[in-house]
Amino acid sequence: MALKKYKPTTPGQRFKIISDYDEITTATPEKSLLAPKKRSGGRNSEGKMTMRYIGGGHKQKYRIIDFKRDKDGIPAMVKTIEYDPNRTARIALVVYADGEKKYIIAPNGLTVGTKILSGKDATPEVGNTMFLADIPFGTIIHNIELRPGQGAKMARSAGSYAQLVSRDGKYAILKMPSGETRMILQSCRATIGVVSNPDHILERSGKAGRSRWLGRRPRVNAVRMNPVDHPMGGGEGRATGGHPRSRKGIPAKGFRTRDKKKASDKYIVDRKKK
């Protein structure tokens, strides 16, 4: 997984830095694991625009991903590593010993032909899914469940991972990608390794058109708006806009929006660093 920089033959190529896609083994997805993906264009059922800056984009199909990894004790072999337009990570098509095919989030280092396993019999090797109770301390993990049987909810994007720090009673203590330390039930599952495509954060589109292909329309800077449109709009000449805040007036830059009575607070050992 490396990055590719282009020679500036056009203005759009000058700052373009994208993945070389060397790890991708096929361009044809598994048809049985595709689902239609409707686009709203930011409109509700009445056709009224309720979300700004959404529209257009290339037609896409959704890849059905197995986030539960609950086929315990049945080995699976990695058949392909594929690109997924719906996420930053790569996905892997795995074929189980009983013939069933599923897509999983591909961890970094997973290659075609690798055998993976989930459940109590699995060992702490890249791609295997285990219960937090069975994973050794210090192991790097991703695709972590918040509740047993719910399916992976955390550390799913490109290059992200968490680390199992310790255990306390029925809870495992994890250091999350945000820097937060929190407790999760040991009966939850997690997958060993780092999520693939870690260089995604270094990519540069090079031109506005690439954002349009992804269905993103141009955003308007708040300071450029009129006072009727945004709290930071208006003023004579080039005004700074005052204190940074959202369209609804909620301050940005460090203002805490988390509910002070949130039920999950009791599971958080140490807050993420500012």
Structure tokens belonging to residue 169: 């009673």
Residue-wise pLDDT for 176-233, tens only, equals 999 999 999 999 999 999 999 999 999 999 999 999 999 999 999 999 999 999 999 9
Q: All domains of the chain, ordered by start, with CATH? A: 3-200 (2.40.50.140), 220-265 (4.10.950.10)
pLDDT at 272: 79
Residue-wise pLDDT for 236-255, tens only, equals 888 888 899 999 999 999 89
Phi, psi of 12 (to 5 degrees): -70, -20
Residue-wise pLDDT for 32-76, tens only, equals 999 999 999 999 999 999 999 999 999 999 999 999 999 999 999
pLDDT at 128: 98
* Alpha-carbon Rg for the chain in angstroms: 22
| pLDDT band for position 22 (cuts 50, 70, 90) | very high
Q: Which residues pair with 172 in a beta bridge?
A: 167, 184
pLDDT at 237: 86
3-class state of residue 27 by DSSP:
coil
Q: Is the model's pTM score more than 0.85? A: yes
| pLDDT band for position 1 (cuts 50, 70, 90) | low
- Distance, in Å, from the CA atom of 51 to the CA atom of 57, rounded to the nearest integer, reads 15
Q: Which residues pair with 101 in a beta bridge?
A: 95
Which residue's structure tokens are 């949130």? 262
